[in-house]
Amino acid sequence: MKLFDGGRAPNPRRVRVFLAEKGIEVPVAPVDMAAMEHRGPDVSSRNPLQRLPVLELDDGTVLCESIAICRYFEEIQPEPALFGRGAVGKALVEMWQRRMELNLLFPVAQAFRHIHPAMKGWEVPQVPDWGEANKPKAIEFLRLLDKELREREFIAGDDYSVADITGLVALDFMKPARIAVPEELANVLRWHRAIAARPSAAA
């Protein structure tokens, strides 16, 4: 199997952190996103959406979408469980993974893509007003998250999960997107410090 990986972008990092938590090593085919190689033939022929990461299995099956790739590895190596345990546990992880993605990672990415001058060729057309509108959305969600994290250690409950991975990647992406985490959100900051200190965060 082979993972087409593009370095610093948030979605490839989600898969790398996931694999590090599982202790799985996958041969990497590096793709230079800065040189737009993800729009070249190697990626385009496998993912017509021209996005990374892309996982190619030994039989030629191609899996795209970071969470779908993570799900594949959860299925072939269930431990440690990162998508939850039992019907309710799995549903709660899915709920929180989606909340972190749709209410934090997504708005942060929109702010970055629609405002940063380097993204002009990536996001066509850039709509700076939409980018700006997303900054308070991200902050508002973090305020809600701060209340939730008063009562538990991780995003989806007592165990680390893929929801924490999406959260880590989203929070770290706030820096290039130029959105500051409000200092008073002590629970969010405590959670982020703990997650960022895990060896997997370096992936």
Pairwise CA distance, residues 191 & 195, whole Å: 6
Between residues 76 and 202, which has the closer beta carbon with respect to a copy of itself? 76
- Max distance between CA atoms of the chain, in angstroms, equals 51
Q: Tell me the closest approach of the beta carbon of residue 35 to a copy of itself, in angstroms.
A: 24
Q: Tell me the closest approach of the beta carbon of residue 88 to a copy of itself, in angstroms.
A: 6
Q: Tell me the closest approach of the beta carbon of residue 176 to a copy of itself, in angstroms.
A: 21
Pairwise CA distance, residues 157 & 183, whole Å: 23
Q: Tell me the closest approach of the beta carbon of residue 139 to a copy of itself, in angstroms.
A: 14
Beta bridge partners of 154: 157
Pairwise CA distance, residues 85 & 114, whole Å: 38
Beta bridge partners of 5: 30
Residues in contact with a copy of itself by the rule CB under 8 A: 48-49, 57, 61, 63-65, 67-69, 71-72, 75-76, 86-88, 90-92, 94-95, 98-99, 103, 125, 127, 129-130, 133, 144, 147
